[in-house]
Every structure is written in C-alpha cells, then in structure tokens.
Amino acid sequence: MNHIMGNDESRFLDIDALCMENRSVKELLLSEENGCSLPVTPQSISDLKSLATALLETIHEKNMVIQHQRQINKY
C-alpha cells in the first residue's frame, strides 16, 4: 500500500492509524451533533492537536502523490 501511495521507503503510511483517526473524528462529530460535548482538558486539547497534525500530514502526502501522478501522466 505504501508503494501505491508513493511514500518514501524510509517513511511508512500507517493505514491502521489513519482508520482509527478517521473513526475518532466521526465519533467526535457525531457526539457534537447529539449535543454531547467533550470535556476541555489539556489531554483532549493535545489529542485534538495531534489528530489535526496527522490529518494535515496525510493531506500533504496525498497531494504530493497527486502531483507526482500528474507529472507522470504528462510524459
């Protein structure tokens, strides 16, 4: 899967971690829709920052793959 995504050999894409993060985001959104809010603690803030960072890195990596594919398709 890492080869297909175009990741460097030194950096592996952790598919399980991505799935768990996506599940966490969905649960967070569903709990907010139902009127339940998470307690604001230093730990929850840290967790959300880590999640946001991981998601941004994933988006960046996918954008790099798309750019690479576009360059390949030009030739």
Q: Where are the domains of the chain?
A: 13-74
Per the CB < 8 A criterion, the answer to whether 65 and 6 are in contact is yes
Exposure string over 27-55, b if 16+ CB within 10 A, otherwise e: ebeeeeeeeeeeeeeeeeeeeeeebeeee
Q: What is the pLDDT along the chain (75 residues), one digit of tens a residue?
A: 555 656 555 566 677 777 778 788 877 777 666 665 667 788 888 888 899 999 999 999 999 888 888 888 887
